[in-house]
Amino acid sequence: MIELKKVTIAFGSNVVLRDIDLRVNKGEIVTILGRSGCGKSTLLRAAMGLIPIASGEIFVQGRRVDDIKERDMDEVRKTMGMVFQEGALFDSMTVFENVAFALRRHTKLKEKEIREIVNERLEAVDLEGAEHKRPDQLSGGMRRRVGIARALAMKPDILLYDEPTTGLDPILTATVVELILKMRDRYGATSIVVTHDLEAASRISDRAAMIHDGRFIAQGAIAELEASADPDVSTFFTIMDRRAAAGNAKQGRRPDADA
**Sites of contact with other proteins (CB under 8 A):** 45, 48-50, 70-71, 74-75, 77-78, 80-82, 84-86, 88-91, 101-102, 105-106, 147, 150-151
Least distance from C-beta 72 to other proteins, angstroms?
A: 11
Q: Which is nearer to other proteins, 34 or 87 (CB)?
A: 87
CB 159 within 8 Å of CB 191: yes
Name which of 135 and 259 has its Cβ closer to other proteins: 135
- State whether residue 89 is helix, strand or coil: coil
Distance CA 172, CA 85 (A): 15
| Nearer of residues 18 and 121 to other proteins, judged by Cβ | 121
DSSP state of 137: G
- The total of other beta-carbon atoms located within 10 Å of residue 165's CB is 26
Q: Is the dihedral of CA 46, 49, 51, 52 positive or negative?
A: positive
- Smallest distance, other proteins to C-beta of residue 221, A: 29
Please report how close the Cβ of residue 205 comes to other proteins at its closest, in angstroms.
Answer: 23
Minimum distance of other proteins from residue 91's CB (angstroms)? 7
- Per DSSP, the three-state class of 157 is coil
Query: 158 forms bridges with which residues in the sheet?
Result: 80, 190
Nearest CB to other proteins, comparing residues 44 and 198: 44
